[in-house]
Chain A
Amino acid sequence: MPDIVEIKNLSKSYRRDSLKIPVLENINMNVPEGEFLALMGPSGSGKTTLLNMIAGIDRPSGGDVVVAGTNLNSLSETALAKWRSNHVGFVFQFYNLMPVLTAFENVELPLHLTNLSKKERDAHVRKVLEIVGLGDRMKHYPNQLSGGQQQRVAIARAIASDPTLIVADEPTGDLDRQSAAEIMTLLARLNSELKKTIIMVTHDQHAAEKAHTKRMLDKGTLE
């Protein structure tokens, strides 16, 4: 399989007044297409920062991130926003659904950035909500759903626009064990059945076991 993510000499640091705080140092990593990768490591090791840069929501201080043949450093903020809408599906720890929109509307949200017609959007949304097992919860608002169900809506939103890559930041971090297992089974299904490349940040060993590959980050370096 060709590499879908190529990371070369990546570094990231933050400035606090005159102090430079390194977060990631000289990261080199390739992720083949169809991979299910778990990024693990202790708190503050830079996992989420690395994930954010792969997803194009943060910029590196040095080095390159190439995703699906595009060097993200070369894109302007507007181009990067458009690129994200076409190539990346996001799953957050706290689901980050719009509380005023129904499950259906939340999943439909990213599809408004595509050229799909209303009818096509409807069909897509129904299909992905069926995939995540929420075909009967379409009109429910987030506060009418359990944590596990909300995360499934978030996963449906992530796959609705058929992205090249799914990034998940602690997708089970806010769930009980049973819901977490269901979510991991669902992500594994997306990877095996829909051939989605998934990069997941997690602390959870059980969750990481569903991944094909585990990489450890510690103090900003990849082991």
Chain B
Amino acid sequence: MVAKLLIKNIFRHKLRTFLTVTGLALAVMAFCFLRTVVTAWDAGIEAAAVDRLIVRHSVSFIFPLPYAYKEKINKVPGAEKVTFANWFGGTYIDQSHFFARMAVEPETFFDVYPEYMLPKDQYETFMKERNSCVVGADIAKAENFKIGDIIPLEGDIYPGRWEFVVRGIYQPRDKITDGTAMFFHWKYVDERMKVEMPGREGDVGWYVIKINNPNQAPYISENIDALFANSAAETKTESERVFGQNMMGSLNAIIISMNVMSFVIIGVIMLVLGNTMIMSVRERTSEYAVMKTLGFSSFHITGLIAGESLIIAFIGAGAGLFLAMPVIQGFSQVVPKGWFPVFFLEDITVIFAGLSALLVAFFAALFPLIKTLRMKIVDGLRFIG
């Protein structure tokens, strides 16, 4: 009967319950969306391997390093494998078709980045053709790239028209690995630079070093930087994670704001439901007094009030999650590929939303519950709402 009364109480003021549930649903949807943006942003950093170091120019990432550094870095104790890459930039069709395009050393790149899984036959074909490229499965699907297709790019950092033949489609190893990048031969770019822009040949964007022992990372970094101290191109070596964080440094404030906002939303939900619960319980003061008079215990009253709060919170959270899925899906379709290589509603966000609903239900019910349990029956019976 308590359960029946609970359900009937929830729908006693249908409009109020509807507005509260709608408010909760919209807030949970916004919470899930913001959390997804934050986790998508963090995913790039999280995906960073602990056994990789990045060597860049000490002044800025945009300044190149000499190709000649490779051999020297190779000899540093603890460096297992060295590869390098250049940010190519360029435009495919227009700016809305954005995805990461990088010139890499194919002989070593896929050994250092095993999370980009390329079939052996495709790798072999890619190695044989200097103007070939490999694209991620996600961008291949989005742009309808197939093996043998030619991808034309209009260069900006490397001016001119460039054409690359798709010879491989890599699969990301897991959900947090970017499946939207394009890789091609560094030598192909470098040879053209030699001819068209003498002086820019032999430029490397950054080196990536796979190390034997992640615990040795600070020591190896120090040794590498010491090698090039007082040279024309001094280096700064750091872990891949720190490198990623520094790269995104300017946007960190926005992400922190979004993070804070997502928790402010939880507070807003709490106030919305808290207000509803206070109004509902206040209206029923004399009914709770009658129930106490009839012999219903604090346990029953707690069940009625907390149960109502819990059910409303979970209906709202459920509706919010239901709404969040298409919104997040839609957003991932609208934003250019590469902004968020991975953008999906993570399980942890769903769990977080569920726990938040539980927390909100608890705090929203707490004040009216304490008040009702402390209420003297005679005062409750006299109450005129």
Residue of B nearest to A87 (CB): B295
B360–chain A nearest beta-carbon distance, Å = 25
Contact between A100 and B9 (Cβ–Cβ < 8 Å)?
A: yes
Report the separation of the CA atoms of residues A99 and B12 in the bound assembly, to the nearest whole angstrom.
9
B-side contacts of A109, CB under 8 Å: 1, 291, 294
Residue of B nearest to A95 (CB): B290
Contact residues of A: prevailing secondary structure: helix
Kindly state the interface size class of chain B when it binds its partner.
Answer: 20 to 34
Kindly state the interface size class of chain A when it binds its partner.
Answer: 20 to 34
Most A CB within 10 A of own CB, among B4, B8, B290, B298:
B290
A-side contacts of B4, CB under 8 Å: 101, 105
Contact between A81 and B376 (Cβ–Cβ < 8 Å)?
A: no
Contact between B1 and A58 (Cβ–Cβ < 8 Å)?
A: no
Report the separation of the CA atoms of residues A110 and B292 in the bound assembly, to the nearest whole angstrom.
10
A-side contacts of B286, CB under 8 Å: 96
Contact between B287 and A98 (Cβ–Cβ < 8 Å)?
A: yes
Contact residues of B: prevailing secondary structure: helix
Report the separation of the CA atoms of residues A108 and B4 in the bound assembly, to the nearest whole angstrom.
12
Picked from A78, A101, A113, the residue with its CB within 8 Å of the CB of B294 is A113
**A36 beta carbon closer than 8 Å to chain B:** no
A153–chain B nearest beta-carbon distance, Å = 13
Contact between A81 and B296 (Cβ–Cβ < 8 Å)?
A: yes
B-side contacts of A78, CB under 8 Å: 297-298
Contact between B1 and A105 (Cβ–Cβ < 8 Å)?
A: yes
Contact between A112 and B290 (Cβ–Cβ < 8 Å)?
A: no
Report the separation of the CA atoms of residues A67 and B79 in the bound assembly, to the nearest whole angstrom.
90
**A85 beta carbon closer than 8 Å to chain B:** yes
Report the separation of the CA atoms of residues A188 and B378 in the bound assembly, to the nearest whole angstrom.
26
Question: What is the interface of chain B, defined by CB distance below 8 A to chain A?
Answer: 1-2, 4-5, 8-9, 12, 286-287, 290-298, 376-378, 381
12 A-B contacts (beta carbon < 8 Å): A52-B377, A52-B378, A57-B293, A57-B378, A82-B295, A84-B294, A86-B295, A92-B381, A96-B290, A99-B287, A100-B12, A105-B1
Question: What is the interface of chain A, defined by CB distance below 8 A to chain B?
Answer: 52, 55, 57-58, 78, 81-86, 90, 92, 96, 98-101, 105, 108-110, 112-113, 157
